[in-house]
Chain A
């Protein structure tokens, strides 16, 4: 009897010592990250059947379990993947968001100042200081575009470094998980099915860390090991084997890095499958904001240089010489076939820069099959060979794929290869083409005058020039428009032939002058028969501001996005786009943080250590331990009493 009581008391002492130890363990680990509260599972020992029934024989601890909820753990990981994805995204996005609209760094103000400077030149075309200001403002634009490009390049390399670091972290975590898998399988085996709680916590902590790098899914095996999958199901950890991620330069763009999954069969590119976590946020930022910004800036650089140059090279400078390219345009390399007899000119089209691809093109001219048939042309992408444009050979331009192909000089059987520079390289290469203020082409090469003897009121205005090839009219140097009243037409003479027929008051007219260019103008008023308007070289016309005005007009001209947006509009669109994406990510980030806090609270309600609770347990089990020792004492007293009875 008393022997049983002694054993019963001892069982209590053992069990409560375990419980007190575990409580102590909990208290010690109250601040250990990833620690799950442990508890000792107690159960009654098997009762003994005596004559009067089953008499209890005390308590035993069966196992030590950790308070852990698999569902909440999974939810926590997916929340923390999403939260760290958005956090990385916002951190990167705000770098660009902060800069684009900053008046001291962004492009917007410098565009305004540049076009204002063009107006200042128009106000006073002979003023060297005004011209100098225009050049300086051009340099400011160059600096702004180059600096933004540098910023984007820096962020690109920052991202490449981030990817390297994150991939290295992931590999270390994967190795750690695989090692712990190994230890856990061993410990479960040795422990006869008892769980090694602290090892499980350590492994869970590594998987939690992994989930802040990228989204993970896990699969617990019967032996206690856990398999970890990332991306579109690539197995990062299988039992005690950890696979490796790596980065490598992209095949299409060596400046950016791809994420690859190392396999024995070779590297598998998994960039587009990586979502969530720092990796997902960084890659999404690169796709959604960085690439867009780089391309937008590149398109602006191309369109701005093409549009400004188009005006500038159709004017004449203070020396009366044809304007040079104001900005150095991103290059278009044209390679002519060996047996070509003609020429091909290719420039960027400011309005359709969005259609530019990294592709090169082949242009083939084919002679007409039958005599009298027109020659035909075909533009195909190279490599790939897909048709971009074809048809009968025109005398002028074909606009396709963001480029202007001037086919007027091309001959039958010619073949050309055209390689435009990449849009993303355009901003970095953007630079000034002229440096002498006298080289600003504020004037037009031609000036009109009315014969003083004219009886009518017709006038010529709104002149502009296109395709200027020379700074002076061909011989005899004077083009005369003489009104033929009976036939209501202007007869053209002086190096050109033909007529403007019929004369329309307010009509926009143009005269193609061979070996010079095309003169565009508007005729207004009511001419009388015999009235003359002459066009002569604008020799000494230093006070002419017409081309400066045309230059200033580019500020609001819809030069980009297929003729729907100005430079400012395009840049504004970029600012809005980056702003909206950053704003959305910030808002989602806040929501995700709230969700994460909620999940952590729920998870912690189960797994976290409450020191108050442990203190209460300490008191409670200390009392129980003391009571059990009292039982042992009582058992001794009973035994002593029994001995005394027989003495």
Chain B
């Protein structure tokens, strides 16, 4: 039989109580934070995994912000080009109406006047700025007015460049948030192997009409080419907006899946933790009571 010395029995009792207290403390912290892992040493592999998941999550949130920016810009561009389309269609109606042989020179001049106004309207639309004051059709030169000229000068120049900004919307996924005015308004085929700007074409049309011109044919063909070009760009934008929608869903799905993995790794099973906690409290109380009872046992009490 082992001898148990008085001081050791006391020491062992205290050690046991301290140990139980540490356990209760650890689980109490876990419960109050709702986390299973308090420091990396609790589970080093899971801690690093969490770090990676947090990075992915942070990137996804950023992609979603980027995506919103791209969506706003593309929607603005789409809205602008819709207005341009409407203006061009009105111009076409006016041209068809204006070149009608029954019109007098005065009538033609009046109609031409309205076309000049439509032209200025389209120039203004081509110089649309976004919320941060950037010209949306100026390419990289976003703080340089995209188009100069008006129905008075009759000469139109593109001041921007062909730069197209790319915006990250997902891992390895980027999308252009703009179209250069060069593509939308300036480099439009003239049907003879060259290019001409939409503004110049409309100006020429109106000028011809104003000067009592009679032949609408070529003008209308060119107007149709301009409308076609704008529609091309609009359908590109539409396609990009669709991509944004589906990427947004993909991002949300990823986010959900990462959050659920994260929760599996780091979150505490509350029911289990609380039942554990109760057990540990009972064990601690038992250790304390046992200590008091044992310490009261001494032969000296009987002498």
Interface residues of A (CB under 8 A from B): 30-31, 37, 93-94, 97-98, 100-101, 108-109, 112-113, 116, 119-120, 122-127, 443, 447-450, 452-453, 538-546, 549, 552, 555, 568, 571-573, 575-576, 578-580, 582-583, 586, 597, 600-601, 604-613, 615-616, 618-619
Residue from the list A97, A541, A608 in contact with B163, Cβ < 8 A = A541
Q: A119-B62, A597-B12 are in contact. Are A543 and B143 (CB under 8 A)?
A: yes
Residue from the list A123, A600, A611 in contact with B6, Cβ < 8 A = A611
- A572–B47 CA distance with the chains assembled, in angstroms: 8
The segment from B35-43, B83-91, B105-113, B213-221 found at the interface with A is B35-43
Q: Are B138 and A543 in contact (CB under 8 A)?
A: yes
Q: Mark B149-183, 1 if CB is under 8 A from A, else 0.
A: 00000000000011101111000001000000010
- A150–B216 CA distance with the chains assembled, in angstroms: 80
Which residues of B, 1-39, contact A by the 8 Å Cβ criterion?
A: 2-8, 11-12, 15, 39
Q: Are B69 and A123 in contact (CB under 8 A)?
A: yes
For residue A384, give the distance in angstroms from its CB to the closest CB of chain B: 37
**Most chain A beta-carbon neighbours within 10 Å: one of B2, B44, B61, B166:** B44
Residue of A nearest to B42 (CB): A583
Question: What residues on A are CB-neighbors of B3 within 8 Å?
Answer: 604-606, 608, 610, 613
Question: What residues on A are CB-neighbors of B300 within 8 Å?
Answer: 611, 615
Q: A123-B65, A126-B132, A576-B44 are in contact. Are A610 and B4 (CB under 8 A)?
A: yes
Q: Are B45 and A576 in contact (CB under 8 A)?
A: yes
Question: What residues on A are CB-neighbors of B11 within 8 Å?
Answer: 600
Question: What residues on A are CB-neighbors of B243 within 8 Å?
Answer: none
Q: Are A543 and B7 in contact (CB under 8 A)?
A: no
Q: Are B8 and A601 in contact (CB under 8 A)?
A: yes
**Most chain B beta-carbon neighbours within 10 Å: one of A113, A452, A615, A619:** A452
Q: Are B48 and A543 in contact (CB under 8 A)?
A: no
Q: Mark B61-74, 1 if CB is under 8 A from A, else 0.
A: 11001100110000
The segment from B51-59, B115-123, B200-208, B231-239 found at the interface with A is B51-59
Q: A122-B167, A549-B166, A615-B300 are in contact. Are A453 and B54 (CB under 8 A)?
A: no
Residue from the list B43, B133, B165 in contact with A544, Cβ < 8 A = B165
- A539–B138 CA distance with the chains assembled, in angstroms: 13
Residue from the list B52, B69, B140 in contact with A538, Cβ < 8 A = B140
Question: What residues on B are CB-neighbors of A448 within 8 Å?
Answer: 162
Q: Is the interface of A mostly helix, strand, loop or mixed?
A: helix
Residue of B nearest to A27 (CB): B300
A-B contact pairs, 7 of them (CB 8 A): A109-B54, A126-B133, A450-B162, A543-B143, A549-B174, A571-B51, A583-B44
Q: Are B140 and A579 in contact (CB under 8 A)?
A: no
Q: A541-B163, A549-B168, A582-B41 are in contact. Are A572 and B6 (CB under 8 A)?
A: no
Tell me if B187 counts as interface (CB < 8 A to partner A): yes
Q: Are B58 and A116 in contact (CB under 8 A)?
A: yes
Interface residues of B (CB under 8 A from A): 2-8, 11-12, 15, 39-45, 47-48, 51-52, 54-55, 58-59, 61-62, 65-66, 69-70, 132-134, 138-144, 161-163, 165-168, 174, 182, 186-187, 194-195, 298-300, 303
For residue B145, give the distance in angstroms from its CB to the closest CB of chain A: 11
Question: What residues on A are CB-neighbors of B45 within 8 Å?
Answer: 576
For residue B75, give the distance in angstroms from its CB to the closest CB of chain A: 15
Residue from the list A94, A120, A605, A616 in contact with B65, Cβ < 8 A = A120
Question: What residues on B are CB-neighbors of A604 within 8 Å?
Answer: 3-5, 7-8
Residue of B nearest to A585 (CB): B41
Residue of A nearest to B299 (CB): A615
- A201–B278 CA distance with the chains assembled, in angstroms: 45
Q: Are A30 and B51 in contact (CB under 8 A)?
A: no
Q: A543-B138, A615-B303 are in contact. Are A610 and B5 (CB under 8 A)?
A: yes
Question: What residues on A are CB-neighbors of B139 within 8 Å?
Answer: 447, 541, 543
- A182–B241 CA distance with the chains assembled, in angstroms: 93
Q: A604-B8, A610-B3, A615-B299 are in contact. Are A542 and B40 (CB under 8 A)?
A: no
- A619–B70 CA distance with the chains assembled, in angstroms: 95
Residue of A nearest to B69 (CB): A123
Question: What residues on A are CB-neighbors of B2 within 8 Å?
Answer: 601, 605
Residue from the list B5, B44, B141, B298 in contact with A580, Cβ < 8 A = B44
- A610–B161 CA distance with the chains assembled, in angstroms: 96
Question: What residues on A are CB-neighbors of B8 within 8 Å?
Answer: 600-601, 604, 608
Question: What residues on B are CB-neighbors of A452 within 8 Å?
Answer: 182, 186-187, 195
- A600–B167 CA distance with the chains assembled, in angstroms: 68
- A540–B141 CA distance with the chains assembled, in angstroms: 5
Residue of B nearest to A613 (CB): B3
Q: Are B6 and A608 in contact (CB under 8 A)?
A: yes
Question: What residues on B are CB-neighbors of A93 within 8 Å?
Answer: 41
Q: Are B162 and A443 in contact (CB under 8 A)?
A: no
Question: What residues on A are CB-neighbors of B162 within 8 Å?
Answer: 447-450
Question: What residues on A are CB-neighbors of B55 within 8 Å?
Answer: 108, 112, 555, 568
Residue from the list B51, B66, B143, B298 in contact with A119, Cβ < 8 A = B66
Q: A120-B65, A568-B55, A597-B15 are in contact. Are A97 and B6 (CB under 8 A)?
A: no
Q: Are A101 and B5 in contact (CB under 8 A)?
A: no
Question: What residues on B are CB-neighbors of A94 within 8 Å?
Answer: 39, 41
Question: What residues on A are CB-neighbors of B163 within 8 Å?
Answer: 447, 538, 541, 543-544
Question: What residues on B are CB-neighbors of A540 within 8 Å?
Answer: 140-141, 143-144
Question: What residues on A are CB-neighbors of B187 within 8 Å?
Answer: 452
- A618–B134 CA distance with the chains assembled, in angstroms: 101
- A126–B15 CA distance with the chains assembled, in angstroms: 65
**Most chain B beta-carbon neighbours within 10 Å: one of A122, A573, A604:** A604
